[in-house]
Structure 1
Amino acid sequence: MRRTAEGVVLDVSVVPGSKRTEVVGLHDGALRLRLAAPPVDGKANEALVAWLATELRCARRGVCLLRGAASRRKQLAISVPLESVTRWLQGTTSAG
Structure 2
Amino acid sequence: MSAGNLQYKGQDLLLRLVLQPKSSRDQFVGMLGDELKIAITAPPVDGKANAHLIKFLSKQFKVAKSAVSVEKGLLSRHKLVRIHAPKQMPDFFKSFI
Query: In the alignment, what sits opposite 1:41?
Result: 46
Alpha-carbon RMSD across the aligned residues, in angstroms, is 2.1
Identity in percent: 29
SS in 1 for 2:56: helix
TM-score with structure 1 setting the length: 0.84
Residue 85 of structure 1 corresponds to which residue in structure 2?
89
Structure 2: any 5+ residue segments left out of the alignment? 1-5
- Of 55, 67, 75, the residue aligned with 2:60 is 55
* Within-5 A mapping of 1:27-38: 27-38=32-43
Instruction: Spell out structure 1 runs of 4+ moving beyond 2 A.
Output: 83-88
Letter in 1 for 2:62: R
Q: Deviations over 1:40-78 (max 9, x none)?
A: 000000000011001110111110100111111110010
Question: Structure 1 stretches of 5 or more lacking a match?
Answer: none
Of Structure 1 and Structure 2, the greater helix share is in: 1
Aligned amino acid, residue 89 of structure 1: F
**Matched pairs, number:** 91
In structure 2, the residue corresponding to 1:85 is in which secondary structure?
Answer: coil
In the alignment, the residues of structure 2 paired with residue 45 and residue 61 of structure 1 have an alpha-carbon distance, to the nearest angstrom, of: 13
The aligned counterpart of 1:23 is 28
